[in-house]
Amino acid sequence: EPEVTQTPSHQVTQMGQEVILRCVPISNHLYFYWYRQILGQKVEFLVSFYNNEISEKSEIFDDQFSVERPDGSNFTLKIRSTKLEDSAMYFCASTVRTSGGGVGFGPGTRLTVL
Amino acid sequence: RKEVEQDPGPFNVPEGATVAFNCTYSNSASQSFFWYRQDCRKEPKLLMSVYSSGNEDGRFTAQLNRASQYISLLIRDSKLSDSATYLCVVNTGTASKLTFGTGTRLQVTL
């Protein structure tokens, strides 16, 4: 069964640096998402992406964040200037449709900001 | 009021026990409901969708009460491998944005 994949599995960066987290959604899926989970807290929605544009974003997804689907297969999340509080697990997800079914999540990228 | 509220637990039960988890949600416009399972430091994995008529998948039974905005999960004949955090998840219908509860931790022991 096809799965969402994410790279890297763990990223360590210095505060203020830019990071790019990468995801390869399932190939026939049309809707893509990023979620994050700070250690010990709940999973939180960041952004949804459809038809090459953001369809919805949360308050967390401020100007420091951006998403892109550069080549029709990858889906990236960029954090321009990382803060300590950006340390979290970042999960990519995709789905073929928006109603009814749940989404499948990738294994996550653990981001540690020092 | 939290959007999705769950008892964090932990629930410590012996193998073979039946355990039930409850969840309430605040947005009456919510359209789809799910239980996900999350193992420590892993991604959430879809356990089952929840339908108004109630649905069962093996040892797992899910119920939804739209009037009370209440969702439940029943696990029968608990196995050691059921030990995990169970996440109540609600889709508010906008572009499949999922809202997660904080999860209920289950520990099944010998």
Q: What is the pLDDT of residues A42-70, one digit of tens each?
A: 999 999 999 889 999 999 999 999 999 98
Q: How many helices (H) and strands (E) does chain A have?
A: 0, 11
Contact yes or no for A19/A7 (Cβ under 8 A) = no
* pLDDT above 80: residue B107: yes
pLDDT digits (tens, 9 = 90+) for A64-103: 999 999 887 899 999 999 999 999 999 999 988 765 567 8
Residue with tokens 């899910």: B62
Q: Does A95 touch chain B (CB under 8 A)?
A: yes
Q: How many residues does chain B have?
A: 110
Listed residue (A104, A37, A72) closest to B101, CA to CA: A37
Q: How many CB atoms lie within 10 A of CB B92?
A: 18
- Best of A9, A37, A38, A43 to mutate (most B CBs within 10 Å, chain B): A43
CB atoms near residue B106 (< 10 Å) = 21
Cβ pair B73, B86 in contact under 8 A: yes
How far apart CA A51 and CA A68 sit, in angstroms, is 11
Residue A96 near chain B (CB below 8 Å): no
B-chain CB neighbours of A101 within 8 Å are 32, 49
| pLDDT at residue A25 is higher than 90 | yes
Q: Compute how many other C-beta atoms are within 10 angstroms of the C-beta atom of residue B51.
A: 12
Give the per-residue pLDDT at A2.
Answer: 77
pLDDT for residue B92 is more than 80: no
* B102 chain-A contacts, CB cut-off 8 A: 41-42
pLDDT digits (tens, 9 = 90+) for A9-21: 999 999 999 999 9
Chains A and B: how many Cβ contacts under 8 Å? 65
The identity of residue A64, as a single letter, is: Q
pLDDT at A100: 58
User: What pLDDT shows up at residue A39?
Assistant: 95
- Contact (CB<8Å) A106/B43: yes
What pLDDT, on the 0 to 100 scale, is given for residue A1?
A: 76
pLDDT digits (tens, 9 = 90+) for B43-63: 999 999 998 888 999 999 999
